Amino acid sequence: MGKRRPGTPTLEEVAALAGVGRGTVSRVVNDAAGVKDSTRRAVQRAIAELGYVPNLAARSLAGRRADAVALVMTEPDWRQFGEPFFSEIVRSVGDALTDTKVQLLLTLVRTDAERQRLVEYARGGRVDGVMLMSVHAEDALPDMLAEVGLPTVLLGRRSGEESVTYVDADNAGGARGAVAHLLGLGRRSIATITGPLDMYVAQCRLRGYREALERAGAENRPAWTVEGDFSADSGRRAMAGLIERAPEIDGVFAASDTMAAGALDALRAAGRRVPEDVAVIGFDDFPLAQHTDPKLTTVRQPLEEIGRTMVRLLLEEMEEPEVAWRHVILRTELVLRGSA
């Protein structure tokens, strides 16, 4: 769990002191029915003893809301905000909120100090919920928000054991399908350019690549895997290195369209024809994929549906704070174009 400010009691600590469950404490602070008088008094004593201040519950009790949610981008490398993925998600989330009264706030968080400021901002009742995107494996922010009881939805997840509500695409399955397509074209020396491997999304796409090769009994050399950072520059550098180190490569699965576009530039500069010499597949199906030369075969993840689902789950958690955490994984689709 993430670190909390010393002296700031949590809902869980109140529950432990009162000898009840977290949901019972929430019902007491929200003055909900269905709690025995003796239990209610025990919770109220624990609240008083610990000095617990139920900011969000108090605002709800008074019938007041901020009517605002935050979309928080936690990418530490600010260059990544120029990548299409971020703008597509912002657009889809904004569209999903169009017919509501909820204002969308965009916030950038990349340091521990900024994380703490966001948590304090949320504790003050300025937003009703948070959506997080680009969360890396060791990021404590989802846990920090959970500790103060703020409804939170992740785009993607930090690991296979994620407990916070999230919406994700079938990254491993999409990668398996892409590599299976390359194998079906007769390609046998297939490389991959991964995303940053401290992100679970990149780990899943790498796992899908490996599983497809293993199922087909195809060769998988360590030298054929190069880590990128989802940017076009990293795809260009990775592909240039692969051409020099492994000239036998006849297929490439890049874990994002922007890295695939960079790989196409490097192949063109090296005089390699696509798809005749090297077939290339990306992942995302950004508009960029239809403007590369040749047009990019790619795995489409349903970004509009991801945005709509994130908003729906967040609004539901705002209405029913005790609803169980939910994990939603959406299907991907291989879109065939000229590069493979």
- Output the CA–CA distances (angstroms, integers) from residue 240 to 63, 91, 207, 265, in the order listed: 59, 33, 23, 9
pLDDT at 61 over 50: no
Rounded mean pLDDT of 246-266?
97
**Structure tokens belonging to residue 336:** 């065939």
pLDDT at 56 over 70: no
8 A C-beta contact, residue 176 and residue 204: no
Query: What is the sign, positive or negative, of the torsion defined by CA atoms of 90, 85, 304, 308?
Result: negative
The pLDDT assigned to 5 comes to: 43
List residues bridging with 121 in a β-sheet.
none
Q: What is the DSSP string of 149-215?
A: T--EEEES-SSTT--S-EEEE-HHHHHHHHHHHHHHTT--SEEEEE--TTSHHHHHHHHHHHHHHHH
8 A C-beta contact, residue 270 and residue 246: no
Q: Quickly state the pLDDT bin for 2 (edges 50, 70, 90).
A: very low
The pLDDT assigned to 31 comes to: 63
DSSP letter at 298? E
pLDDT at 63 over 90: no
Pairwise CA distance, residues 80 & 77, whole Å? 6
Q: Quickly state the pLDDT bin for 17 (edges 50, 70, 90).
A: very high
The pLDDT assigned to 57 comes to: 47
Residue bearing the bigger pLDDT, 323 or 264: 264
Q: Quickly state the pLDDT bin for 137 (edges 50, 70, 90).
A: confident
What pTM does this model have?
A: 0.78
The pLDDT assigned to 242 comes to: 97
The pLDDT assigned to 34 comes to: 67
Q: Quickly state the pLDDT bin for 120 (edges 50, 70, 90).
A: confident
Residue bearing the bigger pLDDT, 315 or 193: 193
Rounded mean pLDDT of 95-115?
89
Rounded mean pLDDT of 151-165?
91
The pLDDT assigned to 209 comes to: 98
Percent of the chain with pLDDT over 90: 58
Percent of the chain with pLDDT over 70: 90
The pLDDT assigned to 81 comes to: 59
Residue bearing the bigger pLDDT, 74 or 254: 254
Residues 6+ apart with CB under 8 A from 107: 70, 71, 72, 73, 118
The pLDDT assigned to 4 comes to: 40
**Domains delineated in the chain:** 11-54 (1.10.260.40), 68-169+304-330 (3.40.50.2300), 171-300 (3.40.50.2300)
- CA atoms in the 13 A half-sphere facing the CB of 248: 8
229-254: pLDDT as tens digits = 999 999 999 999 999 999 999 999 99
Rounded mean pLDDT of 208-237?
96
103-108, strands of its sheet edge to edge:
103-108, 68-73, 129-133, 152-155, 166-169, 327-330
